[in-house]
Copies of this chain bind each other. A is one copy, B any other.
Amino acid sequence: MSSPVPTLVALLHGPDQPGLVARVSGWIFERGGNILHADQHRDMEAGVFFQRVEWVPANGNASADTAAFQAFAASLGMNARVASSAQRPRVAVFVSKFDHCFHDLVLRHRAGDFVGDLVAVISNHPDLAPAAAAYGLPFYLIPVTAADKAAAEARQLALLRELQVDLVVLARYMQVLSADFLEKCGGPVINIHHSFLPAFAGGKPYHQAAARGVKLIGATAHYATAILDDGPIIQQDVARVTHRHDVDDLIRKGRDLEKSVLAQAVRWHLENRVLVYGHKTVVFD
C-alpha cells in the first residue's frame, strides 16, 4: 500500500563492494530518514549489486534528498534513479482495436491500483474513442499507414512531449514502433506480447501456438526495444490448454493472461520496482 506520507524510492546498481548496505542505510539514517523497505540483490557471477530502498525523508527534505542521494550513489560508483511518491508518473496508453487490456488498465486505475495518472489514449483507429470518452479520458487519433509511418510517429512523439508522458503502455497496439521512435521517445515503453517469449515471437502467436500443439499458452510484458519482442521481460504467465481449444479459444483464454500480465508489469514499473540491466530485469516485488 502506498504511504500517505511522501516517500522516496531509489533504485541503484553498480559494482559490488563490501559495506554497501551499511553505507546506504547509514546515509539515510544520518539525514533523519526512516527506511520503510530495503531489498537488495547480488549477481554473484557478474559482481553487480542491486538495491531498491524506500524511505520517509526528514521533514521538508524530500527534494534535497533526491539530488543528494544521487550524488552519494555516484560517489559509490553506483547508478541511481530516485523518485518521489509525491510525483505521480504520467502514462499514455496506445491502443488499436482490441479493447480488453484497455478496459482492464482503466478499471484498475480507477480502483486505485496504479500510482500514476492516465493522461492520454493514443490510437491508430477511431474504434475506442467512445469508450475513452465514457471514461473521461482524452483520446488522440493518429492513423498510421505504411507510407506515412514516420510522420505518424513524429506526431506521437510531439504529443508525448507536450503531455510530459513518463511511461508509454502498448495495450495490444498493433503497430511496431520503429527504433527511431524508441530512441527519441526517451522514456520506457511497456509492451504486452501474447506468448511466453522467446517462444512465438512475431505475428499471430496464438496461431503459432495452435500449430505447434503446445499445452500451455502465455503472455509476456516487456520493455520495447529496437529488436521486436526481444526487450527485457518484466512479467510472464501461462494458462493450460488442450486439444479441445481451437485458435479462437486460445485468443479468448489469452485475453485474461494479457490483461493480468500487463497490469502487473505496469503496476511494478510505476512503483519503481523494476530495474533493467543488460537484457534482463530485476523486479523487487
Q: Which of A19-37 contact B (CB under 8 A)?
A: 19-23, 25-26, 28-29, 34-37
A26 neighbours in B (Cβ, 8 Å): 22, 25-26
Copies in the complex: 4
Interface hit among A61-69, A166-174, A183-191, A246-254: A246-254
Given A196-B196, A196-B199, A213-B280, 12 other A-B contacts at CB below 8 A? Answer: A1-B246, A22-B25, A37-B40, A43-B243, A44-B246, A197-B214, A198-B199, A198-B212, A211-B279, A212-B233, A215-B233, A243-B283
A96 contacts partner chain B, Cβ-Cβ < 8 Å: no
CB-contact partner of A41 in B50, B107, B234, B243, under 8 A:
B243
* A1 near B248: Cβ-Cβ < 8 Å: yes
* B28 near A22: Cβ-Cβ < 8 Å: yes
Q: Which chain B residue has the least Cβ–Cβ distance from A36? A: B42
Q: Chain B's nearest CB lies how many Å from the CB of A143?
A: 25
Query: Which chain A residues have a beta carbon within 8 Å of chain B's beta carbons?
Result: 1, 18-23, 25-26, 28-29, 34-45, 50, 100, 103, 107, 111, 113, 134, 196-200, 211-216, 218, 232-238, 242-244, 246, 248-249, 252, 255-256, 260, 279-283, 285
Query: What are the 6 tightest A-B residue pairs by CB atom distance, in nearest-first order?
Result: A213-B280, A22-B29, A22-B25, A199-B199, A18-B34, A243-B282
- Which of A21, A38, A280, A283 has the most chain B CB atoms inside 10 A of its CB? A21
A36 neighbours in B (Cβ, 8 Å): 42
A256 neighbours in B (Cβ, 8 Å): 260
| CA–CA, A39 and B23, complex, Å | 16
* B215 near A236: Cβ-Cβ < 8 Å: yes
24 A-B Cβ contacts within 8 A?
A: A1-B246, A18-B29, A19-B35, A21-B25, A23-B29, A37-B40, A43-B243, A100-B107, A113-B252, A196-B196, A196-B238, A197-B214, A211-B279, A212-B233, A212-B279, A212-B280, A213-B233, A214-B233, A215-B233, A216-B218, A216-B238, A238-B238, A242-B283, A243-B280
| CA–CA, A225 and B185, complex, Å | 47
| CA–CA, A214 and B198, complex, Å | 8
Q: Chain B's nearest CB lies how many Å from the CB of A86?
A: 20
| CA–CA, A154 and B100, complex, Å | 37
Q: Which chain B residue has the least Cβ–Cβ distance from A267? A: B252
Q: Which chain B residue has the least Cβ–Cβ distance from A98? A: B111
A237 neighbours in B (Cβ, 8 Å): 216
Q: Chain B's nearest CB lies how many Å from the CB of A71?
A: 19
Q: Chain B's nearest CB lies how many Å from the CB of A52?
A: 12
A39 neighbours in B (Cβ, 8 Å): 39
* A236 near B213: Cβ-Cβ < 8 Å: no
| CA–CA, A174 and B18, complex, Å | 41
CB-contact partner of A134 in B23, B134, B218, B244, under 8 A:
B134
